[in-house]
Structure 1
Amino acid sequence: MNVLHVTPSMSPQWGGPVIVVSELIPALYDEGIHCEIATTRGHRVGTGITGPEGVPIHVFDTGPAAQLWTAYSRDLARFLNDSITRFDLVHIHEIWHYAGYVAFHAAKKRNIPCVVTIHGELSEWSLQHKAWKKFIYRKAILDRVLRNADALHAITLPERARIAELGYDTPVTVAPNGIDPNPYDNLPDPSEFLDRFPILKGKRVILFLGRLNPKKGLDILVRSFTSIARRFPDAVLLIAGPDEEGTRHMTESILESQGNLNSAVFTGMLAGTEKLAAMSCADIFVLPSYSEGFSIAILEAMAARLPVVITEGCDFPEVAEHGAGFVVKANDAPVAEAIGTLLSDIDLRARMGRMGRELVTERYTWKVAASTLADLYKSLVSDRKAKTSA
């Protein structure tokens, strides 16, 4: 079976969906599913391209209209029109972009099954962010795509409930994101990383790992750090990720106004050994998001045996249920309380770290997700062939 994955970007700075596509596809290959990727590069979506080794990636430059419609590319449209019949199924990732729209219509025109992964983009916070634009887009374009796709892929049970709440009755399959826990078994010696950022040496390190984007709740983190810094003078924020929408400037401004700017390190984007070294330095991981699809960074932190503090907007209640960390409301006080509890109790940190590692290895590997999606693909393709031959 041949499946085409269509995504607006495969630039590392695009964030979680790029990691999902890159790591899901090798697991799908293990299930006997041959995959290719169609994506864009240029305005807003980035120019650097990454992807799984050995997997064909078709990259198309965006046009001037991409300033108004993310991932707009006439070359992508031509490729889909000419080549989509080579594929048995099209899998679209994310929903607010031209690439998904044009792929959906190309698939429908040729009677090819289509799956859409939402990636958390129908959450209440997401719909309120740039609300009027998204309202118009939903009514004009997106509703037709989501109502007429052959299946929607939700990453969490709350996301499936959200899809139903919004009135979409398209069949939904739930398959959570996964991770390969093996690289996190033995974290590297952090000495070189500490030499780069000496402020971290001998400190209690609170790690934030992800895009510096308004939805990630960095404003909550740095405001809550005010009380943490008073209680734990040796506490330091390690903030790792690429800046978006001026979020770093906003974050630094809050820290400076509170007199805590010298207790924070901004590393920019980290990957590979550097990211593992940052985890090796950290005592806890915090992601106080207003909204998430399903954060790969949380899984990475738990795989590295870090206790985690996350918010309800992360849609990951299993963290608290399994004793791997705290799930709190997206407000300053509960985030600060959870961080303080962990920083003051080394045994609790170790216990939650062990439970997080156990949770990841038992439930959140790519093999689990790929098996579920492979079954979905096969069912949709079989049904389509049966209807065509009837």
Structure 2
Amino acid sequence: MKVLVVAPYISFVYGGTARVVKDLAGALGRQNTHVDIVTTNASGSNTLNVPFGQWVSEACFRVQYFSCWHRYDLVCSASMLRWLHWHISDYDVVHTHTLFSPMLSWVHRLCQSRRVPYLMTPHGMLEPWALAHKPKKKAFYFRWIEKDALTKASAIHVLTQGEADGLAAMGLNNTVLLPNGIDAQSLGCNAKPELFYRYFPEAKGKKIILFMSRIDPKKGLDLLARAFAKVRTEFPCAHLIIAGPDSVGYGVKVQRYFDEVGCLDAVTFTGMLTGELKQSALNVSSLFTLPSYSEGFSISVLEAMACGLPCVITTGCNFPEADAAGAAQVVAVDSRAIAQALINCLANWPRAKAMGDRARKLVLEHYTCDKVAVRLLATYTAILGHSGDETSQLVSDEIAN
């Protein structure tokens, strides 16, 4: 089977979506599946220094990059579209990632005209909060372009049951539910704490609360500012690390949120962390929090849980399974609820540590890329062997067996 993955970007400045594309490709490759990724060199306000017009071999898959014009997450590449015009029929299945992209809309139409089955992964971009952001533009684009592509897709890959229910309410029932997974072997939980303190000495000796995600309005940093101010009244030694790229220019406003509640001096903005420095940040932290208004299915939460960190997340993170397993504190999208959960964890460390241990076990048993790849491969097989109406049930049966 030859699978073509099409994504507007795979630079890590775009957060978990980019990670998922590459990690899943590698996991599929380990299942003896031929996987190629075509993408662009977009990287936030910058571009990746990558070769064009040739395959770049990575572990178990290949990537070909194309030059582009881009502004934030709006990406266009004429050279990539020309390549797809000539080569898309070389593949058995096409898998696209993200929505509201004119470039991907053209890809879906090309698949339809060439009779190449395609699967779409919205990555939570049809969640109510996400649709409420720039609602007029999205409503127009969804009605006249995106819904047709989704309806004609062989399957829509959703990450949570809530996402599946939301799409069903839109009349889209051709969904297959598969969560995100992480490459647990790449976490390297033995990275030395001293590495982080070498770069950020102001955090040494403090109770570190880690936020590790994009600096974006949907991530709930306005809520976290008010919550952290309350935490500091109970635990003056608490220090907040905000680790993530500011790809949409939201960082100045976030700093103002913390300044207004009087705790900016206890916050460190590290920018995006990668490699051993990222793992060191996970290792020095006492707690992890993601107070999002809306998520698809957060990779950063899975990474923190896999490292055994007690996690405080909101219902907007769409992870009720973690709550049911006692593997995370899942609270309302409310600053007071977030603050109380963080305070409770710091006040009762043995209980919080036990929750972190359960979190690690849950992720390693159910949310690794290799486990998800087996299910995704079953999805591709069902798509190739049956009509779209049958795909969801066939994949569910395959997973159950």
1:302–1:356 contact (8 Å) kept in structure 2: yes
Is 1:8 the counterpart of 2:8 in the alignment? yes
- What's the CA shift for 1:181? 2.3
Match runs of 1:27-38 below 5 Å: 27-38=27-38
- What's the CA shift for 1:54? 5.4
| 1:337 alignment counterpart | 340
Deviations 1:105-138 (A, max 9, x none): 1111111100001111100000000111101111
| Letter of the structure 2 residue corresponding to residue 160 of structure 1 | A
In the alignment, the residues of structure 1 paired with residue 148 and residue 378 of structure 2 have an alpha-carbon distance, to the nearest angstrom, of 25
2:66–2:79 contact (8 Å) kept in structure 1: yes
Provide runs of 4+ in structure 1 moved above 6 Å.
none
Distance 1:49 1:300, change over 3 A: farther
Match runs of 1:46-85 below 5 Å: 46-48=46-48, 52-53=58-59, 55-63=61-69, 66-67=70-71, 70-85=74-89
Where do 5+ consecutive residues of structure 2 fail to align?
Answer: 51-55, 388-401
In the alignment, the residues of structure 2 paired with residue 269 and residue 375 of structure 1 have an alpha-carbon distance, to the nearest angstrom, of 34
Distance 1:143 1:48, change over 3 A: same
In the alignment, the residues of structure 2 paired with residue 49 and residue 338 of structure 1 have an alpha-carbon distance, to the nearest angstrom, of 42
| 1:388 alignment counterpart | none
Deviations 1:173-214 (A, max 9, x none): 111111132344643121121122112111111000010011
| Letter of the structure 2 residue corresponding to residue 109 of structure 1 | S
| 1:112 alignment counterpart | 116
In the alignment, the residues of structure 2 paired with residue 59 and residue 140 of structure 1 have an alpha-carbon distance, to the nearest angstrom, of 29
| 1:152 alignment counterpart | 156
| Letter of the structure 1 residue corresponding to residue 2 of structure 2 | N
Is 1:302 the counterpart of 2:305 in the alignment? yes
| 2:281 alignment counterpart | 278
Secondary structure, counterpart of 2:240 in structure 1: strand
Secondary structure, counterpart of 2:146 in structure 1: helix
Secondary structure, counterpart of 1:9 in structure 2: coil
Distance 1:198 1:69, change over 3 A: closer
Which of 110, 127, 144 aligns to 1:140? It is 144
| 2:167 alignment counterpart | 163
- What's the CA shift for 1:43? 8.0
Normalising by structure 1, what TM-score? 0.94
Is 1:228 the counterpart of 2:231 in the alignment? yes
In the alignment, the residues of structure 1 paired with residue 192 and residue 43 of structure 2 have an alpha-carbon distance, to the nearest angstrom, of 38
| 2:349 alignment counterpart | 346
Secondary structure, counterpart of 2:7 in structure 1: strand
| Letter of the structure 2 residue corresponding to residue 320 of structure 1 | D
Range with bigger deviation, 111-120 or 70-79? 70-79
In the alignment, the residues of structure 1 paired with residue 283 and residue 324 of structure 2 have an alpha-carbon distance, to the nearest angstrom, of 25
Is 1:177 the counterpart of 2:177 in the alignment? no
Secondary structure, counterpart of 1:333 in structure 2: helix
Normalising by structure 2, what TM-score? 0.91
Q: Aligned pairs, how many?
A: 381
Q: CA RMSD in A?
A: 1.8
| Letter of the structure 2 residue corresponding to residue 150 of structure 1 | S
- What's the CA shift for 1:270? 0.2
- What's the CA shift for 1:69? 8.8
In the alignment, the residues of structure 2 paired with residue 192 and residue 153 of structure 1 have an alpha-carbon distance, to the nearest angstrom, of 38
| 1:93 alignment counterpart | 97
| 1:41 alignment counterpart | 41
| Letter of the structure 2 residue corresponding to residue 72 of structure 1 | C
Where do 5+ consecutive residues of structure 1 fail to align?
Answer: 385-390
Distance 1:45 1:172, change over 3 A: farther
1:12–1:48 contact (8 Å) kept in structure 2: no
Match runs of 1:304-323 below 5 Å: 304-323=307-326
Secondary structure, counterpart of 2:26 in structure 1: helix
1:3–1:36 contact (8 Å) kept in structure 2: yes
| 1:197 alignment counterpart | 200
Range with bigger deviation, 304-313 or 256-265? 256-265
2:38–2:63 contact (8 Å) kept in structure 1: yes
Deviations 1:237-281 (A, max 9, x none): 011000133321111112112221110000000011011000111
| Letter of the structure 2 residue corresponding to residue 23 of structure 1 | D
Distance 1:185 1:322, change over 3 A: farther
Distance 1:44 1:141, change over 3 A: farther
Distance 1:370 1:54, change over 3 A: closer
In the alignment, the residues of structure 2 paired with residue 105 and residue 220 of structure 1 have an alpha-carbon distance, to the nearest angstrom, of 41
